[in-house]
């Protein structure tokens, strides 16, 4: 029986408590929320992004064409372009099965081209069954210029191909095709079904742009001085201004990101859905298996200044340096930034905190009204977590971000996690959490857990499930909240739970007591979960959990690695997210995906001889 005490005053629940966390993982941006239909539109794909890429990935050539990286480029930040031979054409295959068009809908094409006078560009959409729209012709001449055309699709197809043909030698860049029907009809905007699914949650905040995307790779900028660094941490200035001037980047998750969905678009989307924007900036300590503290005072100062500039971009008057950039992009009014996070899951708590304090001091000196959020490491327990929390507590930090991905049993058994948190200490931002799966039982376990978050709404101020989006053909991480491909999107059970809480947020907790506690089913005997950051050459941060989520073993390899020497010969192979039937001898056969990039692997092993490592 449950007894309510309506007279007693429980914690107040803020409207912003439940939000979403958007990271460009699983092709959540390009090939996802960003509605661009052409893949690799600026020929910038590179083996630095992914060993399988070339600058012509997703393109086929009929005739002659060559990708150039020379002084004839469109601009300094968009370095490669296509030299298409006379009488030749290039065709783009889009994402998933191809370019999706719907009968009767409009599609807008644009391209930057440099051509001799009298050159005609013919642009067309087709699939194996024939044309999907009447082809358009564009007369091109002279130095780099933007040309546009639009189509009405005559048939619906999920397998469209988009072709540009030229009568004479032509230089091409930024070959783009957008549906006219984007979210809120914004040109070059967001894919409607996905944006509307996020909007339907009525999230209190949007945390962006990552995740591991933020604090991995080089902290250098994209310039001649840094050798046009391709594996850069997410730096907001790369992502604003005209799209053709946004230097693409190698994504931590193994693909290229165009930054067509950048900081301006994130802020605008947050505003459009009535959510508080919550950006995350890198703190010059890499995480997610990279775990390096960058010791470079000048670079640190530059990043701190970039963060102050970001606040000006969001909140400054349209006459200020960065407010002007925002105004020119179409939003003279400030976006009203109130919260900002520094860092993500740093594994080196002391090094992180020393840098965090400098960011915080600089931000608070100029913007005392902004809440600066700190971090607690990649896990919800252990030395890193304890040290990070101690430093944050001693430093009087306002709010600390926690992340955890555990079994549904763990979520059921840890409903009381925040009951014992210090009421005088920093508040909690549960920036990433999920039970391992998209099944009904996972949604249920998360719902049960969220009642514990809510009961502790005086301590837990913000919470977001992670990750938000996954394109089913490009998955780096599962489970995810919303799934999609090039033609459809669908919600998980976990989404329905988030929606239930986000669209029914109360004002205040009504204290209650239960006289019986429902039974919680026990762990699956012998099942263990292994999560590890690994590359084909190395591994790091290995953790083994029992099926009920308890940590059995963990090692960040800062010291003795002997206990992890794997037995089978050859390389590690990792089958991400699969349940393997294995015996003791086979227990360490983790895979090598042949991928040199650090990745987080999740492996569930059903041990037949013993549980544990
Ligand atoms: O949500 C997926 C990843 O999980 C995030 O990028 C990272 O912060 C965490 O490890």
Sign of the torsion angle spanned by Cα atoms 324, 299, 535, 406: negative
Q: Has residue 347 got a pLDDT over 70?
A: yes
Q: Report whether 392 contacts 427 (CB < 8 A).
A: no
Distance CA 220, CA 459 (A): 37
pLDDT band with cut points at 50, 70 and 90 for residue 5? confident
Position of tokens 């693409």?
A: 248
Q: How confident is the model at residue 598 (pLDDT cuts 50, 70, 90)?
A: low
Residue 235's DSSP bridge partners are none
From the CB of residue 585, how many other CB atoms can be counted at a distance below 10 Å?
Answer: 10
Determine contact, residues 213/204, Cβ cutoff 8 Å: no
Place of tokens 């890193």: 384
The contacts of residue 346 (CB under 8 Å, 6+ apart) are 215, 283, 285, 287, 352, 375, 377, 388
Domain with CATH 3.20.20.80 in the chain: 192-514
DSSP character at residue 214: T
Other Cβ atoms less than 10 A from the Cβ of 295: the count is 10
Strand order from edge to edge, sheet including 551-555: 551-555, 539-546, 527-534, 599-607, 579-582
pTM: 0.85
Q: How confident is the model at residue 603 (pLDDT cuts 50, 70, 90)?
A: low
Question: Which atom number of ligand 1 is nearest to the Cα of residue 213?
Answer: 6
Does residue 344 have its Cβ closer than 6 Å to ligand 1? Answer: yes
- Cα separation of 120 and 195, whole Å? 37
The contacts of residue 597 (CB under 8 Å, 6+ apart) are 252, 254, 535
Choose the weakest-confidence range: 111-120, 128-137, 289-298, 543-552.
543-552
DSSP string, 3-71: EE-TTS---B--TTSEEEE--S-TTSTBTTTB---SSSTTS---TTT-TT--TTTTEEEES-EEEE-ST
pLDDT bucket at 574, cuts 50 / 70 / 90: very low
Q: Is the pLDDT of residue 571 over 50?
A: no
Mind listing the pLDDT tens digit for each residue in 447-459?
999 999 999 999 9
- Tell me which residue of 176, 78, 166, 62 sits closest to 115, measured CA to CA: 166
What's the gap in Å between 25 CA and the centre of ligand 1?
Answer: 9
With a cut of 50, say whether residue 316 has pLDDT above it.
yes
Task: Give yes or no for residue 211 CB within 6 A of ligand 1.
Answer: yes
The CB of 477 under 6 Å from ligand 1? The reply is yes
pLDDT band at 1 (very low <50, low <70, confident <90, very high): confident
Ligand 1 binding pocket mutation candidate from 289, 345, 597 (most atoms within 8 A of CB): 345
Nearest residue by C-alpha to atom 5 in ligand 1: 211
The DSSP bridge partners found for residue 161 are 126
Judged by DSSP in three states, 455 sits in: helix
| 444 closest CA partner among 518, 366, 528 | 518
β 460-465/18-21 pair status: parallel
Domain 59-181 has CATH 2.60.120.260: yes
Q: What is the pLDDT of residues 218-257, one digit of tens each?
A: 999 999 999 999 999 999 999 999 999 999 999 999 999 9
Nearest to 65 by CA among 26, 96, 47, 91: 91
* CATH 3.30.1510.10 at 192-514, yes or no: no
Pick 67 or 9 by higher pLDDT: 67
Which residues have a Cβ under 8 Å from the Cβ of 504 and sit 6 or more positions away? Answer: none
Let me know how long the chain is: 613
Interval between CA 251 and ligand 1 midpoint (Å)? 13
The average pLDDT across 135-164 equals: 97
Please tell me the distance from the alpha carbon of residue 603 to that of residue 530, in angstroms, as a whole number.
5
Q: Which residue among 208, 210, 540 is best mutated to probe the pocket of ligand 1, counting the most ligand atoms within 8 A of its Cβ? A: 210
Closest CA to 339 of 248, 400, 285: 400
* pLDDT of amino acid 575: 41
Asked if 565 and 490 count as a contact pair (C-beta separation under 8 A), the reply is no
User: Ligand 1: does its nearest atom lie under 6 Å from the Cβ of 23?
Assistant: yes
In the chain, the N- to C-terminal Cα span, in Å, equals: 42
Partnered with residue 101 across adjacent β-strands are 157
| Catalytic residue, candidates 345, 351, 402, 454 | 345
What is the CA(20)–ligand 1 centre distance, in A? 13
Which atom, in ligand 1's list, is nearest to the CA of 212? 6
Tokens 């860049």 correspond to what residue? Answer: 173
Cβ of 547 closer than 6 Å to ligand 1, yes or no, is no
pLDDT higher than 70, residue 564: no
pLDDT tens-digit readout, 499-537: 999 999 999 999 888 776 554 443 333 445 556 665 555
For ligand 1, the distance from its centroid to the CA atom of residue 530, given in whole angstroms, is: 16
Which residues on adjacent β-strands are paired with residue 543?
A: 531, 554
Per DSSP bridges, beta strands 482-484 and 489-491 are antiparallel
Atom index in ligand 1 nearest the CA of residue 288 equals 10
Residues of the chain with CATH 2.60.120.260: 59-181
Is-contact 459 582, C-beta < 8 A?
no
More confident position, 108 or 441: 108
Q: Return the half-sphere exposure (C-beta side, CA atoms, 13 A cut-off) of residue 28.
A: 29
Instruction: Check if the beta carbon of residue 430 is closer than 8 Å to that of residue 459.
Output: no
Beta-bridge partners for 83: 66, 171
DSSP 75: B
pLDDT higher than 70, residue 182: yes
Q: What is the chain's Cα-based Rg?
A: 25
State how far the Cα of 247 lies from the Cα of 389, in Å rounded to an integer.
37
pLDDT digits (tens, 9 = 90+) for 59-94: 999 999 999 999 999 999 999 999 999 999 999 999
DSSP, collapsed to helix, strand or coil, labels residue 371 as strand
Task: Indicate which residue's Cα is closest to atom 1 of ligand 1.
Answer: 467
Give how far the C-alpha of residue 380 lies from the chain's centroid of Cα atoms, to the nearest Å.
21
Beta-strand pair 512-514/489-491: unpaired
Residue 527: cis peptide before it, omega within 30 degrees of 0: no
Residue nearest (by alpha carbon) to ligand 1 atom 2: 467
345 part of the active site: yes
pLDDT at 52 over 70: yes
Of 553, 509, 600, the C-alpha closest to 10 is 509
Q: Report the sign of the C-alpha dihedral through residues 88, 93, 98, 99, in that order.
A: negative
**Burial group, residue 75, by CB count within 10 angstroms (0-12, 13-18, 19+):** middle
| Cα 212 to middle of ligand 1, angstroms | 6
Higher pLDDT, 541 or 311: 311
Q: How far is the CA of 287 from the centre of ligand 1 (A)?
A: 10
């Amino acid at each position: 029986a449950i007894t309510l005490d309506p007279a007693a005053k429980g914690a107040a629940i803020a409207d912003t408590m439940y939000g979403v966390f958007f990271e460009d993982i699983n092709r959540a941006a390009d090939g996802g929320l960003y509605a661009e239909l052409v893949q690799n539109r600026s020929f910038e794909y590179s083996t630095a992004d992914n060993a399988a890429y070339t600058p012509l990935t997703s393109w086929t050539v009929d005739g002659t064409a060559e990708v150039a990286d020379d002084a004839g480029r469109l601009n300094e930040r968009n370095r490669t372009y296509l030299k298409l031979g006379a009488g030749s054409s290039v065709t783009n295959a889009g994402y998933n099965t191809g370019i999706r068009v719907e009968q009767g809908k409009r599609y807008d094409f644009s391209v930057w081209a440099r051509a001799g006078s009298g050159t005609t560009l013919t642009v067309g959409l087709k699939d194996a069954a024939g044309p999907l729209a009447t082809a358009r012709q564009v007369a091109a001449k002279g130095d780099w210029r933007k040309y546009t055309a639009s189509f009405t699709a005559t048939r619906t197809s999920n397998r469209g191909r988009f072709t540009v043909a030229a009568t004479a030698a032509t230089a091409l860049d930024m070959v783009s095709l957008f549906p006219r029907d984007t979210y809120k009809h914004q040109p070059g905007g967001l894919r409607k079904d996905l944006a509307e699914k996020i909007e339907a949650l009525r999230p209190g905040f949007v945390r962006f742009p990552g995740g591991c995307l933020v604090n991995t790779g080089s902290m250098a900028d994209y310039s001649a001085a840094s050798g046009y660094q391709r594996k850069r941490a997410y730096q907001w200035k790369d992502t604003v201004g005209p799209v053709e001037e946004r230097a693409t980047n190698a994504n931590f998750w193994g693909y290229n990101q165009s930054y067509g969905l950048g900081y301006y678009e994130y802020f605008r989307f947050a505003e459009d859905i009535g959510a508080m924007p919550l950006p995350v900036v890198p703190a010059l300590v890499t995480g997610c298996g990279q775990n390096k503290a960058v010791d470079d005072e000048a670079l640190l100062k530059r990043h701190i200044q970039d963060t102050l500039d970001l606040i000006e971009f969001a909140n400054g008057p349209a006459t200020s340096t960065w407010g002007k950039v925002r105004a020119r992009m179409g939003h003279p009014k400030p976006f009203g930034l109130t919260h900002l996070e520094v860092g993500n899951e740093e594994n080196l708590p002391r090094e992180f905190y020393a840098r965090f304090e400098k960011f915080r001091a600089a931000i608070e000196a100029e913007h005392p009204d902004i809440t600066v959020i700190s971090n607690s490491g990649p896990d919800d327990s252990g030395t890193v977590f304890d040290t990070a929390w101690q430093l944050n507590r001693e430093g009087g930090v306002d709010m600390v971000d926690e992340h955890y991905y555990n079994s549904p049993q763990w979520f059921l058994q840890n409903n009381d996690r925040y009951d014992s948190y210090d009421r005088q200490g920093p508040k909690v931002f549960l920036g990433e959490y999920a039970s391992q799966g998209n099944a009904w039982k996972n949604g249920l376990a998360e719902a049960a857990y969220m009642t514990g978050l809510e009961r502790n709404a005086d301590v837990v101020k913000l919470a977001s499930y992670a990750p938000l989006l996954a394109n089913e053909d490009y998955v780096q991480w599962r489970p995810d909240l919303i799934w999609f491909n090039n033609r459809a999107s669908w919600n998980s059970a976990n989404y329905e739970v988030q929606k239930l809480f986000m669209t029914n947020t109360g004002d205040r907790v009504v204290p209650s007591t239960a006289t019986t506690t429902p039974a919680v089913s026990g762990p699956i005997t012998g099942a263990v979960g292994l999560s590890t950051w690994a590359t084909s050459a190395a591994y790091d941060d290995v953790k083994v959990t029992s099926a009920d989520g308890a940590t059995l073993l963990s090692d960040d390899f800062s010291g003795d690695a002997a206990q992890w020497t794997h037995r089978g010969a050859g390389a590690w192979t990792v089958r991400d997210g699969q349940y393997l039937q294995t015996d003791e001898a086979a227990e360490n056969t983790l895979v090598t995906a042949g991928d040199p990039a650090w990745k987080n692997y999740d492996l569930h092993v059903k041990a037949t001889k013993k549980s544990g490592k």
